[in-house]
């Protein structure tokens, strides 16, 4: 029987993770991380989530604590998120939250309190290999797989991590929650970005309002590839390479996509889809989970994006066929089969 600290968010996945570990006879203690103190409608980091987590811990008869990591969250997640958009990048705050908070700050707190293992409700698996190393693997439910946002975990973290729901589909997790009688059994899934309000029908207004309160948003001029002005956009910081929807192009008949963004002059160039394609992508900080892999891999460039065939040479990912360009700031995650073997951030 191990002493396990379970990150209990107040959602169904972490609730079932705690219940499964308790059922299997482990000494389980729950902790809820209080990260964001501002407004949110995402179903994460709210007062109601803390209360749901507390009530689930009561149902399971396990101790429950709340750790306030708000200052660390602001410093390592929120501030870099804003700075990235100001610099023309598209960040992934969930990756940075996992990197700096859930699998760094929380692990260090677990060490200080004497816990052997840490568990979360992520839909992913920890894979043991014959040479004694471990990797993150895809979860059983492809539509909910979260291995992408856990790609940065190293051997020390993986040696102490448990992901109890990774072997189940989301429907199976909800069935288990009902069997355990958990109050979160039918609770909706939370949004990824917990500090951005995303009320139905608001579109991108939440992100625009959040950034607009923190940095000046600059209107952009949209031009075609001949340099002729064809439209405008209220904020160049919210435009991404490859974007088609949400552009004011004056009723153009043909589909046009963002093929280039000049942040210095606040100019967006649009063109045909073919011009969004590139043969490779640079990943300056690319690291491998264990040893570099020379074989063909599959590569994922967004949380639930398509898997693309590629080979890696140094810090360059060469696509088997040209692929849509990846926005700077996005995580580029390398897989061999269903195992994460490396990753980094697009430059």
> Residue 105: exposed, middle, or buried by beta-carbon count in 10 A (0-12, 13-18, 19+)?
middle
Q: State the burial class of residue 133 (Cβ atoms within 10 Å of its Cβ: 0-12, 13-18, 19+).
A: middle
Answer yes or no: are the C-beta atoms of 115 and 137 closer than 8 Å.
no
- Most distant CA pair in the chain: distance in Å? 69
Contact at 8 Å (CB) between 124 and 138?
yes
Whole-number Cα distances in Å, 148 to 44, 115, 240, 254, 303:
19, 26, 20, 34, 6
* 194 catalytic per annotation: yes
Q: Is 44 a catalytic residue?
A: no
E-assigned strand segments in 216-286: 220-223, 229-233, 257-262, 267-271, 277-282
Q: How many angstroms from the chain centroid is the CA of residue 278?
A: 24
Sheet with strand 229-233: strands edge to edge: 229-233, 220-223, 267-271, 257-262
Q: Which of 45, 94, 97, 125 is catalytic?
A: 97
The conformational region for residue 250 under phi > 0 = left, psi -120 to 50 = alpha, else beta, is left
CA 13/CA 36 separation, integer angstroms: 20
Residues 36 and 59 sit within 8 Å (Cβ to Cβ):
no
Q: Of these residues, 44, 125, 194, 301, which one is catalytic?
A: 194
Q: Which residues are catalytic?
A: 97, 194
């Amino acid at each position: 029987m191990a002493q396990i600290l379970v990150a209990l968010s107040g959602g169904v996945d972490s609730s079932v993770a705690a219940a499964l570990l308790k059922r299997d006879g482990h000494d389980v203690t729950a902790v809820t991380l209080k990260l964001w103190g501002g407004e949110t409608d995402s179903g994460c980091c709210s007062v109601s989530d803390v209360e749901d987590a507390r009530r689930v811990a009561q149902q399971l008869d396990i101790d429950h604590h709340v750790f306030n990591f708000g200052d660390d969250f602001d410093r390592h997640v929120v501030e870099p998120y804003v700075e990235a958009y100001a610099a023309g990048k598209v960040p992934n705050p969930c990756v940075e939250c996992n990197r700096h908070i859930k699998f760094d700050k929380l692990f260090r707190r677990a060490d200080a309190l004497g816990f052997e293992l840490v568990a979360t409700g992520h839909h992913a698996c920890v894979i043991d290999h014959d040479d004694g190393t471990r990797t993150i693997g895809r979860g059983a439910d492809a539509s909910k797989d979260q291995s992408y946002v856990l790609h940065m975990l190293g051997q020390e973290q993986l040696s102490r991590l448990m992901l109890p729901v990774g072997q189940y589909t989301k429907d199976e997790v909800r069935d288990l929650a009902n069997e355990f009688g958990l109050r979160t059994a039918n609770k909706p899934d939370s949004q990824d970005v917990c500090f951005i309000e995303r009320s139905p029908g608001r579109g991108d207004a939440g992100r625009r309002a959040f950034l607009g309160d923190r940095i000046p948003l600059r209107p952009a001029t949209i031009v075609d590839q001949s340099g002729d002005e064809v439209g405008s956009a209220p904020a160049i910081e919210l435009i991404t390479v490859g974007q088609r929807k949400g552009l004011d192009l004056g009723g153009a008949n043909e589909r046009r996509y963002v093929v280039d963004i000049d942040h210095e002059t606040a100019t967006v160039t649009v063109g045909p889809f073919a011009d969004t394609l590139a043969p490779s992508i640079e990943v300056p900080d690319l690291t491998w989970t264990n040893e570099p892999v020379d074989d063909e891999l599959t590569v994922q460039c967004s949380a639930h994006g398509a898997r693309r065939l590629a080979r890696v040479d140094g810090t360059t990912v060469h696509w088997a066929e040209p692929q849509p360009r990846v926005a700077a700031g996005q995580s580029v995650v390398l897989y061999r089969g269903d195992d994460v073997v490396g990753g980094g951030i697009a430059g």
